[in-house]
Chain A
Amino acid sequence: MQGFTQATARTLSEVFSTTSTDAGLSGFVMSSIPRRNAPVLWVQDHMSQNEAGRPYLPGLWSRRPMIHITLPRAADVLWAMEEGLRCASLVAVIGEVWGAPPVLDFTATRRLATRAEASDMPCWLIRRGAVPDLSAARNRWRVASLPSMLHPHDPMAPGDPRWQVELFRSREMEPGTWVARYDRAADRVDFSAAFRDGAVAEGDSAAGLRAAG
């Protein structure tokens, strides 16, 4: 499954959050970026930075060089992303836009998508505080954090993170819902089928562990 997100995601993908301050989105996006020692361009608008923080280099897995830009307006974020997609030295372009500004319409996303496909580079748009509306993004995900795995040494501590990942619109593959577990030691994401039973999914950590295992 991880091969899937890496191989086919060389286009524009959108990620939505269920709660606006969830950091699972950036973890999911970073884990699906190709492992190359090239810089990532990370563009944020001010609102995203104030509400959900900025990416923190010591905490990002497989620390790779990063160019970080904070801009006041969503139109500037889109311009900077498009400019970044023209540069072949980058490994990926990540943009964060808060809410649903009018400039982020079908045309704008279509520009980004065609530009990303022309330069064969993954481009991720992180949308916080927004509902999915009309967009030309080729893959649209919804990510929410789930209770983490059991820590191998400490039963009270949170272990490897898990997310509920929903692909609700895609050109390349069938939409579906998975539970993604990030394996920190191996630096990869394992996808497994989602729970059918909502009661178990919402349950506490012990139940979650049994369901995943």
Chain B
Amino acid sequence: MERWQKAIARQGCAPPDDLAIVLATEGPHGPVIHAANRAARLAGIAPGARVVDMRASCPDLRVEYADVEGDRRALERLMLWARRWCPWTVVDGTDGLILDTTGSDHLLGGEAAMLAEMEARLSALGVSAQLAVAPTWGAAWAMARHGAVRAICPEGGIAAALERLPVAGLRLEGETLLLLQRLGLKTIGALAAVPRLSLARRFVRSPLPANPLLRLDQAMGALAEPVASVDAPRRMRAEARLPEPIQDPTHFLPLLCADLCAQLAHAGLGCRALHLTVYRTDGEVSTVDLVIASGSRDAGHLHGLFKGKLERINPGFGFDLITLDAGMVEPLGTLQIGLDGGGEEDLQLPRLIDRLGARFGSKAIKQPVLVARHVPERAENWSDSAKAPAPTHTKERPSRLLTSPEEIRVLYAVPEGPPAQFIWRRQTHRVARYEGPERIAPEWWTDRPGTRLRDYFKIEDQTGRRFWLYREGLHEDGRGGDPRWFLHGMFA
């Protein structure tokens, strides 16, 4: 919810605070509320309810769709960011982080001071957090969600701390919680007071999320639950720290590129993006980003791509730190170069595309690929991803195609036949010879309903120039008025 609020505030269309807003996900019977803002919670809307029901009780409810996958990725990034406090962090479920702060709290002035700093830092990020410190994962989970604000549970005091918390703090499934409630076990203390043997007999076959005994053991520390921290992906970065500010970063680039490429080669990787960041002495930061056609770790080539890019950086009073980061890292094998210097030729084309793309933007460069489709503008595809064997078009096609067909005015003798004369770009062309029609029907599986078929004619005019015209539709085909004529291309 907060991530969504931040995103919408960044777009500059933040809704007022008193408007009830919910984020929804698709459930089996229509959308289900995933999260709600403060106004919606005050109106009695709880996560898990159906959107239609809540609309009935709160008619001016605004519903947006939740980005669950984005939330998960954001939480993973937050998990890595939380390594600032301790080396072992792990994502817990969809909305929690577990930090193993054993031995690192005294660096921050004790556990209470550490919690206060965490809350301050997280709220600076725009994230509200409920924090707790406890000797076990389960106890920390329960106290963060159901305990006091910034609760601290001392070693050996778990049972006392958890005694008054509800059984929902034991990370149990909904059905088990309902069962416990029907049994009259409302707090963890009440559950712990039940004889162990009877609980074990009752829940002997239940899996861990539905087994209150195992969960109780985990919370109390009787059952080990270690924190298995994942490693952050290593950042490929080269940096130059300068003792004196300089005005021109050009001389440091070859060294940085060589350093970065050595790191990439050591890890067996190639990068497809480069980010050069220049830190000015007065605190300004400027970046230059580059995208590369195929994974590369050739220092000379990467250095060449920065040609002409550095002039745009405003040096101000000079730089004292330059970093070069590799982005979009992918595995790259080593390439054997022939004794005669061969083997380099395969690389020349991607490098040409890199150089052109670095200068003009990768969108200006296109590699057409033939596709087996009949509609002319779809018979070639602007990508290099399609690796299917090229289809063979048997019909003759023009060598040049206009970006968009241009409408022409036509004189014709027979409505279904070729034109006798047409006016294109204010010039009159008399038809000397023609070939056609070649009928190309619309692709009903992609086109809008009502798209008209096209009858193509190859026309030669009186001066010998050859055009490709088409008539869009037929007379009285029920899809609009009289058919219109277009000029679509030129034959060589």
Residue A55 is within 8 A (CB to CB) of chain B in the complex: yes
Instruction: Give Cα A79 to B376, complex, Å.
Output: 31
Q: How far is the CA of A68 from the CA of B369 in the complex (A)?
A: 11
The reply to whether the CB of A5 lies closer than 8 angstroms to some CB of chain B is no
Q: Which chain A positions have C-beta within 8 A of B433?
A: 147-148, 156-158, 205
Cβ contacts under 8 Å, A105 to chain B: none
Q: Is the CB of A84 within 8 A of B401?
A: no
Given known A-B contacts A58-B370, A158-B435, A148 and B489 have beta carbons under 8 A apart: no
From B370, B376, B403, residue with most partner A Cβ within 10 Å: B403
CB of A38, distance to nearest CB on chain B (Å): 9
| Contact residue among A54, A71, A87 (Cβ-Cβ distance under 8 Å from B352) | A87
Interface set of B (CB-CB < 8 Å, partner A): 345-346, 348-349, 351-353, 355-356, 359-360, 364-370, 376, 379-380, 390, 393, 396-403, 425, 432-435, 458, 460, 463-466, 489-492
**Taking the nearest CB of chain A, how far is it from the CB of B354, in angstroms?**
10
A147 touches B460 (CB 8 A): yes
* A60 in the interface (beta carbon within 8 A): yes
Interface pair A53/B401, CB less than 8 Å apart = yes
Known: A68-B368, A162-B464. Contact between A52 and B458, CB under 8 A? no
Please determine whether A87 and B465 come into contact, CB atoms closer than 8 angstroms.
no
Q: How far is it, in angstroms, between the C-alpha of A87 and the C-alpha of B304 when the chains are bound?
A: 14
Cβ–Cβ < 8 Å partners of B401 in chain A = 53-54, 56, 59
Residue numbers in B under 8 Å from A24 (CB-CB): 465, 492
A46 → chain B, closest Cβ, in Å?
10
A163–B452 alpha-carbon span in the complex (Å): 35
Check A52 against B490 for contact (C-beta < 8 Å): yes
A residues in contact with B360, CB < 8 Å? 69, 71, 76, 80
| Given known A-B contacts A30-B399, A71-B360, A87-B352, A66 and B368 have beta carbons under 8 A apart | yes
The reply to whether the CB of A49 lies closer than 8 angstroms to some CB of chain B is yes
- Report A's interface with B, CB cutoff 8 A: 19, 21-24, 26-28, 30, 39, 41, 49-50, 52-61, 63, 65-71, 76, 79-80, 83-84, 86-90, 144-148, 151, 154, 156-158, 161-162, 182, 204-205
Task: Tell me, rounded to whole Å, the shortest Cβ–Cβ distance linking B461 to chain A.
Answer: 9
Interface majority SS on B: helix, strand, loop or mixed? mixed
Within 8 Å by CB of A54, from B345, B376, B400, lies B400
Q: Give 19 new A-B contacts, CB below 8 A, not counting A59-B399, A80-B356, A157-B433.
A: A24-B492, A27-B491, A50-B403, A53-B402, A57-B369, A57-B370, A58-B379, A58-B393, A59-B489, A59-B492, A63-B390, A83-B352, A89-B352, A145-B465, A145-B466, A147-B433, A148-B460, A157-B458, A161-B466
Flag if B370 contacts A154 (CB, 8 Å): no
Asked if residues A28 and B492 are in contact (CB atoms below 8 Å), the reply is yes
Given contacts A52-B490, A58-B379, A66-B367, contact A154 B435 (CB under 8 A): yes
A182 to chain B, nearest CB (A): 7
Nearest Cβ in chain B — how far from A88, in angstroms?
A: 6
Secondary structure at the A interface, as helix, strand, loop or mixed, is mixed
* Max chain B C-beta neighbours (<10 A), residue from A24, A50, A162: A24
Contact A79 B352 (CB under 8 A): no
Chain A's closest residue to B434 (CB) is A156
Within 8 Å by CB of A83, from B355, B399, B434, lies B355
Is the beta-carbon distance between A148 and B466 smaller than 8 angstroms? yes
Smallest Cβ distance from A69 to chain B, in angstroms?
5
Smallest distance from the beta carbon of A49 to chain B beta carbons, Å? Answer: 6
| Cα-based distance from A28 to B351 in the complex (angstroms) | 29
Give Cα A26 to B466, complex, Å.
Answer: 13
Q: Which residues of chain A come closer than 8 Å to B353, judged between CB atoms?
A: 67
Give the CA-CA distance A151 to B433 in the complex, in Å: 10
- Tell me which of B364, B402, B434 contacts A70 (CB under 8 A): B364
Are B434 and A53 within 8 A (Cβ)?
Answer: no
Residue of B nearest to A41 (CB): B352
The closest CB in chain A to the CB of B352 belongs to A87
Cβ distance A173 to chain B, nearest Cβ, rounded Å: 24
Task: Tell me the bound Cα distance from A204 to B359 in angstroms.
Answer: 49
Other-chain residue from B364, B489, B492 in contact with A69 (beta carbon distance below 8 A): B364
Contact B367 A68 (CB under 8 A): yes
Nearest residue, chain B, Cβ from A59: B397
B356 touches A27 (CB 8 A): no
Shortest Cβ-Cβ A-B pairs, 5 listed = A27-B492, A23-B490, A59-B397, A157-B435, A53-B400
Chain B residues with CB under 8 Å of A80's CB are 356, 359-360
What is the distance, in angstroms, from B466's C-beta to the closest C-beta of chain A? 6
Contact partner of A58 (CB less than 8 A), chosen from B348, B349, B359, B397, is B397
